Amino acid sequence: MSQVVTSDSSVPHGSWAMVTGSTSGIGRETALRLSDDGYSIVVCGRDRDRAAETRKLIESAGGRAVDLVADLNDPAAAHDLVAETRKAINGGTLDVLVNNAGGGGFARTEDTTDEMFDTVFNLNVKAPYVLTGAFAPAMAERGRGAIVNVGSLSTTMAAAGTSAFQAAKAALSMLTKSWTAEYGPRGVRVNSVDPGYILTPINEHMRDMYQGYLASVPAGRGGRPEEVAEAIRFLVSPGASYIQGAVLTVDGGKNAVVAM
């Protein structure tokens, strides 16, 4: 849980934020911080118990949350999540959408099956597309809203064995720009956060594989989920009111230097 609780007086009464993949890691840390800022939170992820755990953490700190279960690998689940969210917030307004759920696995191109490819694109592209298409128009009608897409450093730096994942994250990065063109003029700010190697529960076991990578990071270490969450929190906040269509890289400086 974040240490400083600062309710943001600019958050309208009855305002909700959805954070996909908020059952652990970056998503959970983001949900906790947005709750601190005064948003009610739609927690969603594949694991019912972990979703409930995030909700209870928010409630124990005095916040309000609902927990919904959705496996966004299934396109139908994204549409179901839209309906369930509208019912759950019960007349409130969804003013923030954080498209954080992602992943899908890595493989060389010749080893990537159709199922693997579809999983990666369903999680990283189609689900954000469905959710944004459902919620952004209402934000635009109200003249306010913020969408943050969680991308990856791999949108600008390639690595062998991750072609489908990198292509999906590059597509999501382009959607940030497209949605800025569509919704920005109507008061909806759309931005991206691109993390580098972050020590989340899902990739902690790969730490040894990344030793060479980490040695070339100016910060000298992997990132922490809360460091990415703070970047997302900023882009949602009034302090980022003139930032649209931007990519905020949270990678310890990796993208700025060439390893020598």
Is 246 domain-assigned? yes
Provide the sign of the torsion angle of the four alpha carbons 13, 99, 35, 250, taken in this order. Answer: negative
Is the separation of the CB atoms in 70 and 64 below 8 Å?
no
Is 2 domain-assigned? no
Cα 197 to Cα 221: distance, rounded to the nearest angstrom: 9
For the chain, what is the domain count? 1
Strands 188-195 and 40-45 turn out to be unpaired
Is 236 domain-assigned? yes
Is 258 domain-assigned? no
Is 255 domain-assigned? no
What CATH number is associated with residue 66?
Answer: 3.40.50.720
Strand partners, 16: 40, 94
Q: Which domain holds residue 50?
A: 15-250
- What's the pLDDT at 205? 60
Is 4 domain-assigned? no
Q: Which of 183, 63, 67, 71 minimizes the C-alpha distance to 135?
A: 183
Q: Which residue intervals of the chain are DSSP H helices?
A: 25-36, 48-60, 75-89, 114-121, 127-142, 163-183, 211-215, 225-236
SS3 content of the chain, % helix, strand, coil (to 5): 50, 20, 35
149 residue type, one letter: N
Is 6 domain-assigned? no
Residues 6+ apart with CB under 8 A from 235: 146, 148, 189, 191, 193, 243, 246, 248
Is the separation of the CB atoms in 92 and 15 below 8 Å?
yes
Is 257 domain-assigned? no
- What's the pLDDT at 109? 87
Tell me which residue has tokens 């990739």: 203
Q: Which of 171, 166, 170, 162 minimizes the C-alpha distance to 111?
A: 162
* Other CB atoms within 10 A of residue 4 CB: 6
**Chain centroid offset of residue 188 CA:** 16
The alpha-carbon radius of gyration of the chain (Å, integer) is 17
Average pLDDT by consecutive 10-residue portion of the chain (260 residues)? 45 91 96 98 96 98 97 95 96 96 86 93 97 98 98 84 91 97 98 92 63 82 95 98 97 83
